[in-house]
Amino acid sequence: MAKAHKTIQPPGLERALDRLEHLCRAHGQRLTRQRRAVLSSLLSAGRALSAYELLERLRPEDGKSTPASVYRSLDFLMTLGVVHRLESTRSFIACEHPEAPHWVQFLICRRCGQVVEAEDERIAAATERLGQRLGFALDQRVVELTGVCEGCRENAARH
Amino acid sequence: MAKAHKTIQPPGLERALDRLEHLCRAHGQRLTRQRRAVLSSLLSAGRALSAYELLERLRPEDGKSTPASVYRSLDFLMTLGVVHRLESTRSFIACEHPEAPHWVQFLICRRCGQVVEAEDERIAAATERLGQRLGFALDQRVVELTGVCEGCRENAARH
DNA sequence: GGGTATTTGATACAAAGTATCATTAAAGGG
DNA sequence: CCCTTTAATGATACTTTGTATCAAATACCC
C-alpha cells in the first residue's frame, strides 16, 4: 500500500489561502489569481514540486502560465515565507509553519521524496553562533538533511 | 585595497595534487589529467566556481573539455571528498579540510563571494540528533549560511 | 466604475546538467 | 617498454532550470 501523502484538502487549504490574503494586506502587496493558484497547487500536491512540475499542474486551470510567471509567483510567496525552496533538489514546497517566521531545516527522504520541515532550536542557535564566531551577519540559512526515512527503511528491510 | 584571495600556489597546490594521487590509489581509482586539472583549477581559483566557469578556465590548457566531462570530474572529486558543491550558489569549491572526512558547513558572503568552510561540532551533533528524532538515517547534510562577512561590513560602514 | 501602478503574458534566451556511444588513455602485468 | 583491459573522455545533442524585456492586462484604492 502506497504511503499516504499529506495532501492538504479544504478546509486546510481554505485556511492557508485566507492567511495568504491577510499577509498580502499586511505587507501592502497584491494577491493575484496566479499567486493564489501557485500556493494552492503546492499545498494540494503535499510534496515538493519543481517549478516546471508546478507549471504542468497550473496549465489545466490556467493555460497561459509561463515559466517566468511561475518563478515570479514563487519568489513572491517565498518573500512572504509561505513557500520555501529546497536548494538540494531544486524544488519548492509550501511552508508548514507559516505562523512562525523562524529558521527552518528540512529532512528529505531520498527514497520516497518526503520532506519534513523542522524548527530545531539547537541547530538555529548553533548556526547563529558559528556565524558570529566567523564574523558573518547571516541572513539566510540553508539546512537540508538528506537520508532515508523510517518508513522507507522498514520497507527495504522486508525486501 | 582589495581583499587578498587565498589562492593556493605551489607548493600548497603540489601537496594537494599529491594527496589526490594517494587518495586515488587508496580507492583503486584512476587519476586522469582532467581530474588533476579540475582540482588544480579550483584550488588556484581560490573561490567557488560554477561548472561553466571552471570549463572556461580549463579550455586554454585543454580545448576539448566539455560540460559533461567537467561534471564527471567534479562528481568524482566530490566522492573523494576533495571538492564540495555549494547548492545555494550552484558552484563548486576545493575542500579545505581534506584530511578530515567530516560533515562541514559553509559560510558564504553575498557581497564578495568569499566562502568559509567550517566544521562545527555543535551543528554536526544537532543535525544528527534531529535526524534521529525524526527517524531519518542521514547520509548528506547541506548547511550553507549566507550573509555578509566582516570585511564587507566594514567596507560598507565607511561608505 | 475609473485611474494607476503592479503583475502578467509572450517571446526569446541564458545557464545548468545529462544521455549516448565511439574513441582514447590510465594502470598493471609481462 | 609495450600490450591489454577497463575505465574515462570527446563529441554531439538534448533536457531541465531560470531570466530579460516590453507590451497588455488586472488588482487595488478612491
Identity of the residue in B138, B144, B149 whose CB atom sits nearest the CB atom of A142: B144
Q: Which of B65, B22, A144 is nearest to B74 (CA)?
A: B65
Residues B23 and B84 in one domain: yes
Shared domain for A15 and A87, answered yes or no, is yes
Chain A residues in contact with B153 by the CB 8 A cut-off are: 137
The phi and psi torsions of A66 (rounded to 5 degrees) equal -130, 165
Beta bridge partner(s), residue B142: A144
Both B50 and B9 in one domain: the answer is yes
Distance B125 CA to D5 C1' (A): 46
CATH of the domain at A150: 3.30.1490.190
CA atoms of B106 and B45, how far apart (whole Å)? 17
Confidence of residue B136 (pLDDT cuts 50, 70, 90): very high
R_g of chain A computed on alpha carbons:
17
**CA-to-C1' distance for A46 and C30, Å?**
62
What does the pLDDT read at residue B112? 93
Q: Which of residues 11-70 of A touch B (CB under 8 A)?
A: none
B55 contact to strand D (CB, 7 A limit): no
Same domain, A70 and A121: no
Same domain, B85 and B159: no
CATH code of the domain in which A9 resides: 1.10.10.10
How confident is chain A (159 residues) per 10-residue block, as mean pLDDT?
54 85 92 95 95 94 90 96 96 84 90 94 96 96 96 86
Q: Are residues A78 and A51 in the same domain?
A: yes
Claim to verify: residue A73 and residue A41 sit in the same structural domain:
yes
Question: Is the domain of A12 the same as that of A65?
Answer: yes
Residues of chain B in contact with residue A149, where contact means CB-CB under 8 angstroms, are 134-136
Interatomic distance B29 CA / D7 C1' (Å): 9
Residue among B107, B134, B143 minimizing CB distance to A136: B107
- The band of B11, judged by pLDDT with boundaries at 50, 70 and 90, is low
Nearest to B136 among A122, A136, A149 (CB): A149
Domain count, chain A: 2
Any strand D atom closer than 7 Å to A68 CB: yes
Q: Pick the last residue of a domain from B43, B68, B96.
A: B96
Beta strands in B6-104 (DSSP E): 83-86, 91-94
Question: Which residues constitute the domain of residue B106?
Answer: 102-159
Which DSSP helix (H) or strand (E) runs through A145?
strand A137-148
Interface contact flag, B122 A118, Cβ < 8 Å: no
Shared-domain flag, residues B89 and B55: yes
Asked if residue B145 has pLDDT above 80, the reply is yes
**B60 and B134: one domain?**
no
pLDDT(B2) > 50? no
> Using one digit for the tens of pLDDT, what is the confidence trace for B85-132?
999 999 999 987 777 667 899 999 999 999 999 999 999 999 999 999
User: pLDDT by residue (tens digit) across B46-55?
Assistant: 999 999 999 9
For residues A54 and A131, state if they share a domain.
Answer: no
Last residue of a domain, one of A97, A128, A149: A97
Nucleotides of C under 7 A from a protein CB: 6-12, 15-20, 25-28
Distance of alpha carbon B63 from alpha carbon B60, whole angstroms: 6
Q: Are A64 and A45 found together in one domain?
A: yes
* Residue B127 burial (CB count, 10 A): 27
